[in-house]
Homo-oligomer: A and B are copies of this chain.
Amino acid sequence: MPSPNRLEEFALIQRIAKRFGGLQNHTIVGIGDDCAVTQPNSKNLQLITTDLLVEDVHFNRRFTNSRDIGYKAMVANLSDIAAMGGVPRQFLASIAIPPSFSRNDVDALYEGMMELGKTAGVALIGGDTSTAKKLLLSLTLIGEVKPSHVVQRTGLRVGDAIFVTGTLGDSNAGLRILQTPPRKHVPLACRTWLSQRHLRPTARLNAGQRLAKCKIATAMIDLSDGLSGDLAHICELNAVGATINITHLPISDALHTYAHHLDKPAYEIALQGGEDYELLFTTRPESLSRIKRWNTHGLLDASHIGTITPKQQGLQMITPTGLTRPIRIQSYEHFRS
């Protein structure tokens, strides 16, 4: 007889395959063979990204349920495809589960992935399972993009305008709220909204595809480490500097309220950010009016926050009082701090 562990693993894979593993998106063989088999679209390039999420590093099960963990793992991967202007197609999900993890927990994890996965049109085609002391997810997502549409992290020039989608710092604030006992003087609606922005961020697939299709973005990156960290990274890659106008940072009403109660400038939280999963992109100045038009018509939600400068100027910000100051780079450290 196979040992219970192994039997359970086979049963688990069969259950997952049956519930979540339908063939679609040019998938010829899905879960259950040595490999998945796909027929890539020959006209397009293929995009591949992978993200590792580790308990107590990337998420805390004390305030994150299994469904939300699965959901966010999918966001992290979709966001990478968005940042290249691509369309997601298939994914593989490997999980290492602790003994305390129930069958319901496993199902909830996959339900969370598939809740978003279905909306985004991705098919589960494979993965692996193991035991471990702490929960761990490793997702690999495959997408495609027309060769002329690929947007990389490099390609920007001095003088390019810097944009970000959505609002920044909400996820960081949401994490703080989840980590520490709720503050009585922060309204419930504000706490809930910020927490949800941390637990269920949005992958900006439509925005990424629109920018790629119209060839407007000269470079693009998704903001997972936070604005200051990711901006520093893209500037280093391109050997340029950047100046950010603090008053132009998109900040939600909820973050304003929360920051006010913390007695801290909201822009500091927005600059640090972390797990925003918004897109940062650059454009040539001549594209400004087009982006403005898209914003007006609700086709994009992007804020013009600054300009690419020569490298020797480094990373600077123009403060609300009009002063120019260096940006303090604070990368997001999940639960490490």
Most chain B CB within 10 A, of A125, A152, A237, is at A152
Q: Are A140 and B50 in contact (CB under 8 A)?
A: yes
- Total contacting residues, chain A, CB less than 8 A: 76
Q: Are A136 and B96 in contact (CB under 8 A)?
A: yes
Q: Is A64 an interface residue (CB 8 A)?
A: no
> Which residue of chain B is the closest to A152 with respect to CB atoms?
B33
Most chain B CB within 10 A, of A10, A37, A142, A153, is at A37
Q: Are B128 and A52 in contact (CB under 8 A)?
A: yes
Q: Are B48 and A126 in contact (CB under 8 A)?
A: yes
Asked whether A50 and B6 contact (CB < 8 A) given A37-B45, A37-B84, the answer is no
Q: Are B2 and A229 in contact (CB under 8 A)?
A: yes
Taking CB atoms, residues of chain B closer than 8 Å to A5 are 333, 336
Give the distance to chain B from A81, nearest Cβ to Cβ, in Å. 6
Q: Are A48 and B92 in contact (CB under 8 A)?
A: yes
Q: How many copies does the complex hold?
A: 2
Q: Is A117 an interface residue (CB 8 A)?
A: no
Q: Is A250 an interface residue (CB 8 A)?
A: no
Which residues 314-337 in A have Cβ within 8 Å of B in the complex?
328-333, 336-337
Asked whether A2 and B57 contact (CB < 8 A) given A37-B45, A133-B133, the answer is no
Additional A-B contacts beyond A35-B83, A37-B145, A48-B92 (4; CB < 8 A) = A34-B84, A48-B142, A51-B128, A52-B128
Shortest Cβ-Cβ A-B pairs, 10 listed: A42-B42, A138-B138, A34-B83, A35-B47, A6-B331, A34-B80, A40-B40, A2-B331, A35-B49, A52-B128
Q: Name 7 A/B residue pairs within 8 A (Cβ), A-sorted.
A: A3-B331, A3-B336, A36-B47, A36-B49, A37-B84, A37-B150, A40-B42
